[in-house]
Amino acid sequence: MEPITQSLPEKSARRWNSPYDALGLEPQVSVYLTQFAYSRVCLHSVSDMDNEVGGILVGEWCLDEASQRQFIIVEAALAARHTRQSSVHLTFTPDSLVDIHNEIDNKYPGKKIVGWYHTHPRMGIFLSHYDTWLHKYFFPEHWQVALVIEPHTAKGGIFIRQANGLFDPSRYFGFHEMDGNLENSLVHWTNLTPVVKEGETSNE
């Protein structure tokens, strides 16, 4: 597969930084998350506050020709409806994967699986050993990401492979909120900080 050549959608996006973004880490891709996908993730994350829930992130893998920077646009979040889960684990069953692929074919033909998401009720933002194994073998492309949400404290973060090849399960990145009226941001995760552009004023 090759990335789609497309300009970085900076003008229609607002950056949200994680506490680790200032440490000089270099993710292999930047993540642009549409407000539609963000709202779907958030709604699903609070559907079960005791057990883990999750799903698949769908969109495009892109390359900005001018800067040669790679990025993904997450256009939709598809809930996995056939899973085995508890308060500390989530397993995608074969039926769940078939269901998701059918939904992509019907609603988002031609789009790519750019990553996955799941919740950690009362546990924090990190990837467990099992999460890390699952990401390595089921989402092996360098541009595929893992989003973790903690619904009780309203926190979230995205795990991305770094330019040096490392994949740190304890350090997560922020993202660019895309589309909609960015003056009325939907992002409410308390561990992320908005980056104020020149000429803007922060409402935080």
The CATH number given to whatever domain includes residue 176 is 3.40.140.10
Residue 204 lies in a domain: no
Question: Three-state DSSP class for 69?
Answer: strand
Average pLDDT estimate for 135-161 = 96
Residue 203 lies in a domain: no
Residue 68 lies in a domain: yes
The strand pair at 69-79 and 30-34 is best described as: parallel
Residue 200 lies in a domain: no
pLDDT over 70 at 132, yes or no: yes
Please state, as a whole number, how many other Cβ atoms lie within 10 Å of the Cβ of residue 164. 8
- Total count of domains within the chain: 1
Residue 199 lies in a domain: no
Residue 157 lies in a domain: yes
pLDDT over 70 at 186, yes or no: yes
Average pLDDT taken over every residue of the chain: 91
pTM of the model: 0.92
Q: How confident is the model at residue 200 (pLDDT cuts 50, 70, 90)?
A: low
Residue 172 lies in a domain: yes
Q: What percent of the chain is predicted at pLDDT more than 70?
A: 95
Residue 201 lies in a domain: no
Give the pair of three-digit tokens for residue 60: 């495009």
Q: How confident is the model at residue 118 (pLDDT cuts 50, 70, 90)?
A: very high
How far apart are the C-alpha atoms of 119 and 53, rounded to whole Å? 6
What per-residue confidence (pLDDT) applies to 89?
Answer: 75
Give the pair of three-digit tokens for residue 110: 């031609």
pLDDT in tens, 134-145: 999 999 999 999
pLDDT in tens, 33-86: 999 999 999 999 999 999 999 999 999 999 999 999 999 999 999 998 877 777
What per-residue confidence (pLDDT) applies to 180?
Answer: 64
User: Rg (Cα) of the chain, in Å, rounded?
Assistant: 16
Question: Residue 98's domain spans which residues?
Answer: 4-194
What is the H or E stretch that residue 137 is in? helix 129-138
How far apart are the C-alpha atoms of 181 and 185, rounded to whole Å? 7
